[in-house]
Every structure is written in structure tokens, then in C-alpha cells.
């Protein structure tokens, strides 16, 4: 009777229903961590159960329904050295780990990234975006990050992950060699390079980054204002024509001083034209000035190329450096290359470099 009473004191079902969106780890609380032999362990989809026995990682259970017996707990059996058929309760801590994705995690650069732009020179960049987080190795995550925390949320690890992302993003953006004005067209490729760079370090925590996005790469506010002025000047084009256009618009406004002045000017101009058309008998004959010749066409700018090898980029390289890289075997048909104006990274064989690569002789025949 006393033994039956003690058996009833211990929990029969071990499970976790998560009603939050940010809990990554939850410890199953039980007075004295007492779990009786034969108890039922329920692990739902998107969960894992980690047993810690006497401070050591004992076992990890995936989704399913388990009866905690000798045949499915070999590690715990070895650690506990039970010789009574598990008839007495054993003490272990059970941690439930959420293995689903934690989406919409934010990252961003607190301090500007110094980079060398081929057009503007040294610039300061800022970048931000989102990523998703997932626990891929529950045992490693418990031992490396969580420890004895009874309830661990995504916010507690996101700060460390952000530091890893910013460190790698700073290096990738600074070494990319891509002009600032062309970075918006290459955020997808840059995001893949950054994700591959952070994967090993994040993997040491038992985590993975299934999705990684760069939402924006920006310049300092004063530089953006200067670019806006430069864009406005490009839209305006020829300043003289712009002034003539404004003057013509002013003429069309009835009763305006500009309209009156321009009307008088047009009248005087028409009178001068009539006098010139009268030939030598005109009152004020003038000599027409021929228009200046058009300027000679400018030579097209030589293309500069960037190379992507082993997750890092280099460049820009001119024609001579590209030819040298082909001769030394550092640039092959499968090498990913990019040049301003090109739609993303492409293999060299898919670009105009294919002609140069076709001129490379094959290796000499074996004697």
C-alpha cells in the first residue's frame, strides 16, 4: 500500500503545450525532478525533449509518444546503474526545445561600415534586414547556450546572433567591390554570401539560419542629399535649355511681367529677322553665324570585373588583370563574375569573357 501511494505521487505524463511565439526552451517542472519508471513522454511535432541527468546530457527524444523504460533509455540506464527494474523513481531534468522556425528576427549595423567605392571613394554604409532562426541540434543548444535556464526565449539569443551577422556583413560589404549605386541590384547575392559565412559559427550553437534577407543598404543622410542634387541636375540636363523652357512657360501666363517682356523681345526679334530677309536693302542687315560642329564621340569606358571565389569577392579588375587571371588559372569558365550593368552574378562562360577563355590553350600533352 505504501509503495502504491508513492507511485501515485509522481507524474505519469510529461508533455508541453506552447502558448507563446518566442519560447525556445521550457523546463518541465516537477518537485524534486522525480519521474517514475513507465511514465509517458509526449513530444509533439516541432519539439524535442532533452534529458539532463546529474548535470550531464543523457538523451534527446524527437516527436512521438514514449514509455520511459529500459529499452528506449539506454544512456539513462548506464548513468543511473539501476538494478531494481526501474521500480523506483529517477531524478532527471527534462527540457522541451521548440524546433520550429522563429521568423522576422531583426538585424542591423549600429555603426557605419567603411568601404571603398570605385566611383565615390571612401563611403560609410549602413545595412539592415531580417532572418529566421531554428534549433537543429537540441542537445548542443542546451549545453552551449541555455544551461539551466528554465524558460529561454528567442530574444535571449538574438543579440548574440546579431553580433555574428553584423561582423560577417561588414566584411562582405567592405570586400565586395560593388559600387554603392549597384548594391540594391545585388542584395540577394550578397545575402547568400553572408548567410554562408555565418552558418559555421551559428552551427556551433546548435542553430541554423534557414532564411536571411538584406532589406536595405543606405548611405549617410548628407551623402544621400548630395546624390539627390546630382540626380536633379541629371534630370534637368542642359541648363540653358532648362532656362529657355521656364521662360517659354512664363510667356504663356497672361498678364505676367515675364510674358510682357518676352512678348516685346519676340517682337524685336521678328523685326530683326524681317530686316535680314530684305537683303542689302534692309535697315539692319546682319551676318548669320553658322552653328558650332558637334563634339567628337567619346571612347567607351573599359569594363571592370569582380570575381567571387569561395564566398568572397575581389576586384575590380581591368582587361590586363583579367587576362593575367585567366593565364594563371584563377579565372575559369565556372568562376562567378560581375560587372556594372550586369544583372547579378554569372559564370564567366555566360559573359563576354567567354571569348578570352576560349583562347586559353589546353594543357600540354603528356610525354
Find the mean pLDDT for residues 303-320. Answer: 85
| pLDDT at residue 192 greater than cutoff 60 | yes
So what's the pLDDT on residue 282? 45
C-beta separation of 95 from 64 below 8 A: no
Q: What is the mean pLDDT of the chain?
A: 77
- Gap between the Cα atoms of 21 and 154, Å rounded: 9
pLDDT band at 234 (very low <50, low <70, confident <90, very high): low
So what's the pLDDT on residue 32? 55
So what's the pLDDT on residue 322? 86
So what's the pLDDT on residue 255? 57
Residues of the chain above pLDDT 90, percent:
24
- The lowest-confidence range among 15-29, 79-93, 178-192 is 79-93
Find the mean pLDDT for residues 247-265. Answer: 57
So what's the pLDDT on residue 240? 65
Structural domains of the chain sorted by starting position, each given as residue range(s) with its CATH number in brackets: 2-97 (no CATH), 102-224 (3.30.479.30), 305-358 (no CATH)
User: 313-343 burial string, b = 16+ CB within 10 Å, else e?
Assistant: bebbbeeeebbebbeeeebeeebbbbbbebe
| pLDDT at residue 93 greater than cutoff 80 | yes
Locate 338 and state its grid cell: 560581375
- Gap between the Cα atoms of 238 and 240, Å rounded: 6
How many CB atoms are located within 10 Å of the residue 278 CB? 11
Residue with cell 526501474: 86
Residues of the chain above pLDDT 70, percent:
67
Characterize the bridge pairing of strands 305-309 and 56-61: unpaired
Find the mean pLDDT for residues 85-96. Answer: 68
What digits encode the pLDDT tens for the residues 166-190? Answer: 999 999 988 888 888 888 888 999 9
- Gap between the Cα atoms of 60 and 52, Å rounded: 9
- Gap between the Cα atoms of 133 and 208, Å rounded: 6
Query: How many residues comprise the chain?
Result: 367
Structure-model confidence comparison of residues 279 and 308, the more confident one = 308
- Gap between the Cα atoms of 228 and 10, Å rounded: 71
| pLDDT at residue 97 greater than cutoff 80 | yes
Structure-model confidence comparison of residues 49 and 275, the more confident one = 49
Most confident segment among 219-223, 251-255, 326-330, 360-364: 326-330
What digits encode the pLDDT tens for the residues 297-308? Answer: 554 567 888 898
| pLDDT at residue 105 greater than cutoff 60 | yes
- The lowest-confidence range among 119-133, 270-284, 304-318, 335-349 is 270-284
pLDDT band at 131 (very low <50, low <70, confident <90, very high): very high
C-beta separation of 81 from 108 below 8 A: no
- Gap between the Cα atoms of 134 and 100, Å rounded: 6
321, containing H or E segment? helix 319-327
| pLDDT at residue 164 greater than cutoff 90 | yes
C-beta separation of 113 from 124 below 8 A: yes
So what's the pLDDT on residue 273? 53
So what's the pLDDT on residue 281? 44
Locate 10 and state its grid cell: 509522481
| pLDDT at residue 231 greater than cutoff 70 | no
Amino acid at each position: 500500500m505504501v509503495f502504491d501511494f508513492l507511485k501515485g505521487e509522481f507524474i505519469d505524463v510529461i508533455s508541453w503545450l506552447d502558448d507563446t511565439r518566442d519560447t525556445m526552451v521550457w523546463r518541465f517542472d516537477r518537485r524534486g525532478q522525480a519521474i517514475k519508471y513507465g511514465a509517458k513522454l509526449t513530444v509533439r511535432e516541432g519539439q524535442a525533449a532533452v534529458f539532463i541527468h546529474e548535470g550531464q546530457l543523457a538523451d534527446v527524444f524527437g516527436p512521438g509518444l514514449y514509455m520511459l523504460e529500459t529499452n528506449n533509455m539506454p544512456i539513462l540506464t548506464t548513468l543511473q546503474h539501476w538494478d531494481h527494474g526501474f521500480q523506483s523513481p529517477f531524478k532527471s531534468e527534462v527540457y522541451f526545445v521548440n524546433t520550429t522556425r522563429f521568423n522576422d528576427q531583426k538585424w542591423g549595423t549600429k555603426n557605419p561600415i567603411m568601404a571603398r567605392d570605385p566611383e565615390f571613394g571612401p563611403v560609410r554604409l549602413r545595412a539592415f534586414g531580417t532572418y529566421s532562426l531554428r534549433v537543429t541540434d537540441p542537445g548542443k543548444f542546451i549545453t552551449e547556450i541555455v544551461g539551466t535556464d528554465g524558460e529561454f526565449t528567442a530574444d535571449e539569443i538574438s543579440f548574440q546572433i546579431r553580433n555574428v551577422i553584423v561582423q560577417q556583413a561588414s566584411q562582405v560589404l567592405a570586400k565586395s567591390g560593388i559600387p554603392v549605386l549597384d548594391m540594391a541590384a545585388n542584395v540577394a547575392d550578397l545575402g547568400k554570401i553572408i548567410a554562408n559565412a555565418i552558418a559555421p559559427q551559428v552551427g556551433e550553437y546548435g542553430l541554423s539560419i534557414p532564411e536571411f534577407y538584406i532589406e536595405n543598404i543606405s548611405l549617410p543622410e548628407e551623402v544621400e542629399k548630395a546624390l539627390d542634387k546630382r540626380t536633379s541636375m541629371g534630370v534637368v540636363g542642359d541648363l540653358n535649355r532648362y532656362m529657355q523652357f521656364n521662360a517659354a512657360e512664363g510667356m504663356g501666363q497672361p498678364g505676367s511681367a515675364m510674358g510682357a517682356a518676352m512678348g516685346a523681345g519676340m517682337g524685336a526679334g521678328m523685326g530683326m529677322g524681317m530686316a535680314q530677309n530684305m537683303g542689302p536693302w534692309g535697315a539692319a542687315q546682319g551676318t548669320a553665324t553658322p552653328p558650332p560642329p558637334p563634339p567628337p564621340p567619346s571612347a567607351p569606358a573599359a569594363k571592370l570585373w569582380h570575381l567571387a571565389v569561395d564566398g568572397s569577392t575581389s576586384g575590380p579588375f581591368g582587361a590586363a588583370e583579367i587576362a593575367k587571371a585567366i593565364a594563371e588559372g584563377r579565372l575559369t569558365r565556372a568562376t562567378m563574375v560581375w560587372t556594372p550593368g550586369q544583372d547579378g552574378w554569372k559564370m564567366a562562360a555566360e559573359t563576354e569573357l567567354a571569348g578570352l577563355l576560349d583562347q586559353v590553350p589546353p594543357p600540354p600533352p603528356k610525354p
